[in-house]
Amino acid sequence: MKYTLLPALLSLGGAYAITPNNIISPASISGSLSALKYTNVGGSGSYNQVTNMIQGAWPSCTANPSCITSPKQVSGPLAPFDEEMTAVLRGPMTLHNIAVYQPSNSSAATWKRTSSWQQGSAPDNLVFMNNKGGGASGEWDTCGGNSQSYSNGDFTDAAASPNADTYSANLPGTQEVNIVTGTSCADVPCDGFARGTASHGWSGSKAFIFEFDMPSDGSSNPPAIWLLNQQVVNAAQYGCNCRGMGGSGGCGELDVFEVLPTNLQQGITEIYSFKGATGGGDGNFWARPTSGTVTYMAILDVQTDSISIQRLTEWDFTQTQITRSIVDGYLTVPSMTVNFGSQNSRRAEKRSWMHRRHLH
């Protein structure tokens, strides 16, 4: 990626926004979305933090309640999306590159690459996990089910240790994998309840960049990329957790690119927190890359209290840092804008989301 050296007239936080030159031309993608920005993301409120999971006695869950929660108050720009987050990917998908960039604080002049992975190479401060705990790694209990586990190389089972295998590019349909940092909750305590192989996500401001394609696997399995508060997977992604789904609770979920079973050629974005839920709305969708690779970036920025998701023409994954002014450039490209202020629906379920259910 190279920069256009003409600073945009817009000035943010005292720094000039530099217009990036890898923005996809909306005209080239025939009516599908090229960029969407959520504004006024943060809020003051609370979600039901999981503080304990009671195991119960085998063979049936005998503890009631077994999922112990306590309201956690949060507030401020981006809250609760400023907390640690993980990215979840569901196949069918071919994965080429992933990178995460973060500033050391919300006003730092550079965002450094804190994690990365390239197909066929060893990940850097990035661990692929899945929810198959209880066998090769992680744990299983009667009330809580499977914890997280380290993913094996073809994303189909658990492995005994982090990144034990070289990762194949192919994430099969119905399989899910999520990425976390290389720091486990056993080494550095995590917020909320954590068990098994639970690990830290990425906190504060962060930019996730994914290079992938979503080919059909000959069935109707819908691929997706979404972000969750790290605490969701550290307890149980499909069970006892703080997700709340925008209705009551809601520790933060961002659907970056979710293909729905009702239209396998389109991907949507939605945001959920204790404030409710909103999204791109009807008729505004990403084009599913069934052939050919695409690059998407999701920037979650504390300083501007906004989240921007955009399709790029390319990304140079070897870049070890980017400047705040180029981040500002991405945050100010022409986008569909969705205000996540105070007028959100408090929906329990608007659509029948595949990933709300346990697929295995």
Ligand X SMILES: *[C@@H]1O[C@H](CO)[C@@H](O)[C@H](O)[C@H]1NC(C)=O
| List of residues contacting ligand X (CB under 6 A) | 104-105, 107-108
- CB-nearer residue toward ligand X: 156 or 323: 323
Q: What angle do CA 257, 262, 267 make, to 5 degrees?
A: 15
Q: Which of 239, 124, 147 is nearest to 194 (CA)?
A: 147
Q: How far is the CB of 109 from ligand X (least distance, A)?
A: 6
Q: How far is the CB of 46 from ligand X (least distance, A)?
A: 27
Q: How far is the CB of 7 from ligand X (least distance, A)?
A: 21
CA terminus-to-terminus distance, the chain: 40
- CB-nearer residue toward ligand X: 269 or 304: 304
Q: Phi first, then psi: what are they for 34, rounded to 5°?
A: -110, -25
Q: How far is the CB of 183 from ligand X (least distance, A)?
A: 20
Q: What angle do CA 277, 283, 287 make, to 5 degrees?
A: 100
- CB-nearer residue toward ligand X: 103 or 133: 103
- 91: β partners: 173
Q: Which of 332, 347, 323, 356 is nearest to 110 (CA)?
A: 323
User: Rounded CA gap, 17 and 20, in Å?
Assistant: 9
- The secondary structure element, H or E, covering residue 329 is helix 324-331
Q: How far is CA 360 from CA 58, 173, 189, 336, in A?
A: 21, 11, 30, 35
- CB-nearer residue toward ligand X: 110 or 142: 110
Q: How far is the CB of 299 from ligand X (least distance, A)?
A: 18
- CB-nearer residue toward ligand X: 149 or 325: 325
- CB-nearer residue toward ligand X: 11 or 105: 105
Q: Please, how many CA atoms are within 13 Å of residue 197, restricted to the half-sphere of its CB? A: 31
Number of H helices, E strands in the chain: 2, 25
**Contact indicator for 200, 190 with CB cutoff of 8 Å:** yes
Q: How far is the CB of 301 from ligand X (least distance, A)?
A: 14
- CB-nearer residue toward ligand X: 110 or 284: 110
Q: How far is the CB of 324 from ligand X (least distance, A)?
A: 10
- 99: β partners: 116, 209
